[in-house]
Amino acid sequence: MLTRKLSMDELNRLSVEEFREIPKHSFVFILDDIRSLNNVGSIFRTADAFRATKMYLCGLTGTPPHRDITKTALGADESVEWEQCPDLLQLIERLKSDGYQIVALEQAEDSTKLHEFQPDLNKKYAFILGNEVFGVKEEAIAQCDICLEIPQFGTKHSLNVAVSTGIVAWDYVSKTLKSLT
C-alpha cells in the first residue's frame, strides 16, 4: 500500500488563539527541578499535543522565554498556559484544594503500574515530573494520591523525563477518550 505525507494545510493545525479557546483535557503537568531546558521545551510540545490544561514550573525549572526552551517547544511555550511556582509543596496543597488528584510519576513502593491506572472522568489530575537525576522529591511523594510507574523491561531503570511525559499523556488521553465512547 502506498501512502503520502499530509501537507501542513491538510493537518488543520489550530492557531495559538484557537488553541487557547478550545476545551482542554482534565490534567496539568508539574515540572519540579527539571534541569534541561530542552526537556522543558519538549514537555511544552507534549502539553500542547495532548491539550493539557496547564503547566506549573517549580523549583529550578527554567521558564520561557529562553532560547533553549523555544527551540524545542516550537511555539508551544506560547500556546500552553503556564505558571512559575517556587514552592512545590504549596502548589500541591493549592491543587488539592482545587480538587486535583496529585500523581507522582516515579518508581516507588506500592506504585501503580501505568497500564493498571484507570483515570476517573469526574476528577482532574496533576502529574508531577521530577528532576532528571533524583526524580520526584520524597516530601512530594508523601503528599500524592497516586504514584504511577511506567513498566520497563531493559537494562536501564529510567526514561528521559520528556519521553515519560509523552507516555503518560498519551495513556491518560487515550483512556479518557476510550471511556467516552
Q: From 129, 163, 160, 134, select the one nearest 147 (Cα to Cα).
A: 129
Is 15 contained in some domain? Answer: no
Region for residue 145 given its phi and psi (left: phi exceeds 0; alpha: psi -120 to 50; beta: otherwise): alpha
Is 16 contained in some domain? Answer: no
CATH of the domain at 113: 3.40.1280.10
The answer to whether residue 58 scores a pLDDT higher than 60 is: yes
Q: Within a 10 A sphere around the Cβ of 54, how many other Cβ atoms?
A: 15
Is 12 contained in some domain? Answer: no
Structure confidence at residue 180 as a pLDDT band (50, 70, 90)? low
pLDDT in tens, 126-165: 999 999 999 999 999 999 999 999 999 999 888 999 999 9
Q: From 116, 98, 137, 157, select the one nearest 83 (Cα to Cα).
A: 98
Count of structural domains within the chain: 1
Is 3 contained in some domain? Answer: no
At 157 the pLDDT is: 86
Is 14 contained in some domain? Answer: no
Is 99 contained in some domain? Answer: yes
Q: Which domain holds residue 43?
A: 24-180
